C-alpha cells in the first residue's frame, strides 16, 4: 500500500501488536521475574511460567502459591522492567522514509506511562517520534477522540493515517475525525484475539495489510 507523504501528513501508529508483538514483552517480563525468583535455575522456571500462560492458567497464582512470591512485587516486575523486544521488520525503515518526505510521526497507545515508555525506548522509536499519546498520561483510553485530537492539536496538518491492529477499539475515534485507517491483521501471535469483523472494516473504510513491510512511502 502506498502512503502519500508530504509536509501536510501525520502518520500515527498504535504500539502493542502493531510495531512489535506484545507476546515478546510478556516473555521478556517472565524472564525478568524468573531470574528474580530463582537466579540459579531461572530457565526452568521461565519455561514453566510460559507453559502455564499458554494453557490459560494464572501464572502469578502459581508463583504466589508455589514460590512464596508477593503479588505486588510480581506486578511491579512485569510492568516496570526494561524489556528485551524488537520492532517488526521494516518499521524503522518506514519511519526514516516518512521523515525524509516531511511527514510527522506520532504514537497513540493505551497503558501505563512507565510501561509504554520503556517499550518505546527498547524498540528504538524515540528518535523518530514527534508526539506520543499514552492513555495514563492523557486520562482517556481509545477509542475516545481526545487521544487522537491531541495529535491534531500538536500539528497543523490535515492528512492523518492511523495504523493499528485492534478493530474493536482502535479505529472509531480516528474515523470520526476523518482519518484514514489501516488495519494490521493478526499475524497469529497477537496477545489478544482480534477477529476481523467484516462489517467494521466496511463501516470504517479500513485498508487491511498483513505486514508493516507492505507500506511504501510515495511523494
Considering the chain, what is the average pLDDT of its residues? 96
* pLDDT score for 68: 97
Kindly report, residue by residue over 153-185, the tens digit of the pLDDT: 999 999 999 999 999 999 999 999 999 999 999
- Measured from the Cβ of residue 133, the count of other Cβ atoms closer than 10 Å reads 22
Does residue 35 sit in helix, strand or coil? helix
| Class of the CATH-defined domain 2-20+86-218 | alpha beta
Q: How confident is the model at residue 188 (pLDDT cuts 50, 70, 90)?
A: confident
Domain boundaries, the chain: 2-20+86-218, 23-80
Contacts of residue 126, defined as CB under 8 A and 6 or more positions apart, other chains included, come to 120
Strand blocks (E) in 135-178: 159-164
What pLDDT, on a 0 to 100 scale, did the predictor assign at position 18?
Answer: 98
Q: Is the separation of the CB atoms in 173 and 151 below 8 Å?
A: no
Tell me which H or E stretch contains 108. Answer: strand 104-109
The arithmetic mean of pLDDT across residues 199-212, rounded, is: 94
Residue 99 CA, chain-centre distance (Å), reads: 20
pLDDT tens for each residue of 104-153: 999 999 999 999 999 999 999 999 999 999 999 999 999 999 999 999 99
Amino acid at each position: 500500500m502506498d502512503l502519500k507523504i508530504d509536509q501536510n501528513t501525520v502518520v500515527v501508529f498504535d504500539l502493542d501488536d502493531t510495531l512489535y508483538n506484545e507476546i515478546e514483552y510478556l516473555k521478556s517480563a517472565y524472564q525478568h521475574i524468573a531470574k528474580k525468583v530463582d537466579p540459579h535455575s531461572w530457565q526452568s522456571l521461565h519455561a514453566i511460567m510460559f507453559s502455564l500462560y499458554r494453557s490459560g492458567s494464572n501464572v502469578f497464582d502459581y508463583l504466589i502459591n508455589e514460590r512464596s512470591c508477593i503479588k505486588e512485587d510480581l506486578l511491579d516486575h512485569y510492568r516496570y522492567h526494561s524489556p528485551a523486544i524488537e520492532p517488526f521488520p521494516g518499521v524503522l525503515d518506514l519511519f526514516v522514509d516518512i521523515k525524509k518526505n516531511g511527514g510527522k510521526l506520532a504514537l497513540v497507545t493505551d497503558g501505563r506511562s512507565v510501561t509504554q515508555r520503556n517499550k518505546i525506548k527498547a524498540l528504538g522509536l524515540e528518535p523518530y517520534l514527534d508526539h506520543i499519546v499514552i492513555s495514563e498520561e492523557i486520562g482517556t483510553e481509545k477509542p475516545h477522540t481526545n487521544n487522537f485530537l491531541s495529535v491534531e492539536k500538536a500539528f497543523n496538518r490535515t492528512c492523518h493515517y492511523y495504523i493499528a491492529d485492534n478493530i474493536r477499539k482502535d479505529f472509531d475515534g480516528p474515523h470520526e475525525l476523518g482519518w484514514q485507517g489501516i488495519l494490521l491483521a493478526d499475524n497469529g501471535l497477537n496477545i489478544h484475539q482480534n477477529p476481523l469483523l467484516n462489517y467494521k472494516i466496511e463501516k470504517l473504510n479500513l485498508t487491511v495489510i498483513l505486514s508493516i513491510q507492505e507500506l511504501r512511502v510515495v511523494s
